[in-house]
Amino acid sequence: MKTNEIPVAVIGLGLMGSSIVTCLLIAGHPVVALAPLSSDLLFAEKRITDHLEKAFKNRIIPHTPDYYLKNLLITEDYSELFACKLVIECTIEDIDVKESVYKKAEAVIASDALLVSNTSAIPISQLQKLTSHPERFLGLHWTEPAHTTRFLEIICGDDTNISYGEYLYELSHQWGKEPILVRKDIAGFITNRLMYAMYREAIHLVENGYATVEDIDRSCRNNAGYFMTFVGIFRWMDLTGVPAYHTVMKNLLPTLHNSSEVPELISKIVEEGGKGIANSKGFYDYEPGEAAMWQKTFSEFAYEIREIALRYPADIVKQKLRQQQQQQNQ
């Protein structure tokens, strides 16, 4: 697949949209970055340029930002989407907003173009009913920052032609991803279902006095955080002994929290206007300047953890076995 021959578009240029644009530029695509809101234009170019500058500084890309920016068109004009083979909607989680975007996009794009959504909450099977070509509609669930992380979920809805999911699965390897192809639509997809089960249990433990917020975070960092970049949960159980997990599950699973209600702890934060790092009001108290420092530190960490992850890809052992066999055969 020659990415320079596949023009793509991103509609919505907030934090996530800007990093998705950056990822696609790095991969070699001509990119149309469309701002559905004029306010997006105030920051999009600077965000994308900053991402490219940091990527160059961290040796992720071999060229300076200008090399990639020449393939970028930032616009508010939907007619510029006419040549795009892939259109990525990256707007707020509001069905009415998304439907409006789909209608405007489908009025100008080719009937064989793929239209996808970066939604993390709305079922793809529901969104594709708002489109003229549901068989060509899929989900692409990214994580921030999109240009450094290896994560990507490709989600097929009930009416999606699976061959398009397989096409995006192959193409996304050109984006530096280790993609997940979700062949059957399910609420929350794969990663969010796993993570929200953990969030629910974590909040339950804090609310009931078993541990503090700091204790929970420390536990995650030094247990799951210790091995997650190396392997996932199934390989971890293989490495550390499957029977032990079977034994623990018998006694522990019945005690895990299973409420369907949103926990009071997080509801209180939101009701009081807390947004976390964005406004220094969240599960933690932040001193002046501390939230901004956390954001800066996270940006630096994203590059460092990427280097480690690249040294240990999913098939690291198979690669080593092949190298050993080649050496033995020489």
Q: How many CB atoms lie within 10 A of CB 18?
A: 28
Whether the per-residue pLDDT at 1 is higher than 80: the answer is: no
The four Cα atoms 103, 96, 115, 67 give a dihedral, to 10 degrees, of 100
Q: Which two tokens stand for residue 316?
A: 């690291």
- pLDDT at residue 42 in the model: 83
Secondary structure E strands in the chain: 8-11, 31-34, 72-75, 86-89, 114-117, 137-141, 153-156, 180-182
Whether the per-residue pLDDT at 330 is higher than 80: the answer is: no
Closest CA to 36 of 97, 84, 81, 95: 97
Render pLDDT for 194-207 as a digit per residue (tens, 0 to 9). Answer: 999 999 999 999 99
Percent of the chain residues topping a pLDDT of 70: 100
Whether the per-residue pLDDT at 144 is higher than 80: the answer is: yes
Q: Which two tokens stand for residue 199?
A: 């969030």
Spell out the SS3 assignment of 9-72.
EEECCCHHHHHHHHHHHHHCCCEEEECCCHHHHHCHHHHHHHHHHHHHHCCCCCCCHHHHHCCE
Among the ranges given (238-247, 252-261, 316-325), the one the predictor scored with the smallest mean pLDDT: 316-325
pLDDT tier, 273 (very low <50, low <70, confident <90, very high otherwise): very high
- pLDDT average, residue stretch 154-179: 96
- pLDDT at residue 19 in the model: 96
Query: Are 242 and 252 a contacting pair, CB within 8 Å?
Result: no
Residue 289, sorted as left (phi over 0), alpha (psi -120 to 50) or beta, turns out to be left
Render pLDDT for 41-51 as a digit per residue (tens, 0 to 9). Answer: 888 999 999 99
- What are the distances in angstroms from CA 320 to CA 118, 127, 207, 260, 314? 35, 43, 46, 45, 12
| Amino acid letter, 4 | N
Render pLDDT for 248-265 as a digit per residue (tens, 0 to 9). Answer: 999 999 999 999 999 999
Closest CA to 118 of 96, 82, 144: 144
Alpha helices in 82-156 (DSSP H): 95-106, 124-127
Render pLDDT for 64-123 as a digit per residue (tens, 0 to 9). Answer: 999 999 999 999 999 999 999 999 999 999 999 999 999 999 999 998 999 999 998 899
- pLDDT at residue 315 in the model: 83
- pLDDT average, residue stretch 112-138: 95
Percent of the chain residues topping a pLDDT of 90: 85
Q: What is the mean pLDDT of the chain?
A: 94
| Residue 144 CB contacts under 8 Å (≥ 6 apart), including other chains | 15, 16, 19
Whether the per-residue pLDDT at 327 is higher than 90: the answer is: no
pLDDT tier, 156 (very low <50, low <70, confident <90, very high otherwise): very high
- pLDDT at residue 167 in the model: 97
